[in-house]
Amino acid sequence: MSSDDDPTGNAEATVTAFERLGGEAKVRQLVDHFYDLMELEPAYAGLRALHPSTLEGSRDKLFWFLCGWLGGPSHYTDRFGHPRLRARHLPFSIGIAERDQWLHCMAQAMDELGIDPHLADRLAAAFFNTADWMRNR
């Protein structure tokens, strides 16, 4: 590592959530498990109903987005520019119930993949802020 990467001499300081999670392979696994649960679990039927009939496009977009959001490669913005995430969610009616289904589905996916609980807690807090900001009713 060069001194540019780590001016403090503390390797911990430069490790992104993306790296800590396990890079692209793990982000892909997380997104796939999240959408598998959304398809399977009756508790997330309301959330599933907001999505298109096939989830392939949704899987790719969330994967690309999360890579950058976690501090990894900017696949989403390379393709689509600024995420404008709140605007892109305006076509969908999102209240507390939809927000909480999204968050529970993601928490279950992280838990079942055995993601380090400390990291999962930090991510859950960040997901909460983003999901809450998406509410439009």
Binding region for ligand HEM (CB under 6 A): 47, 50-52, 57-58, 61-62, 65, 80, 85, 88-89, 92, 94, 98-99, 102, 127, 130-131, 134
Query: Which C-beta is closer to ligand HEM: that of 30 or that of 98?
Result: 98
In terms of CB distance, is 6 or 134 closer to ligand HEM?
134
Q: Which is nearer to ligand HEM, 80 or 111 (CB)?
A: 80
Q: How many CA atoms lie within 13 A of 116 on its CB side?
A: 10
To the nearest whole angstrom, how small is the minimum distance from the Cβ of residue 25 to ligand HEM? 19
Contacts of residue 52, Cβ cutoff 8 Å, sequence gap at least 6: 58
Residues 6+ apart with CB under 8 A from 106: 34, 124, 127
Give least dist CB 19 to ligand HEM, A: 18
Alpha helices in 70-115 (DSSP H): 75-80, 85-89, 96-112
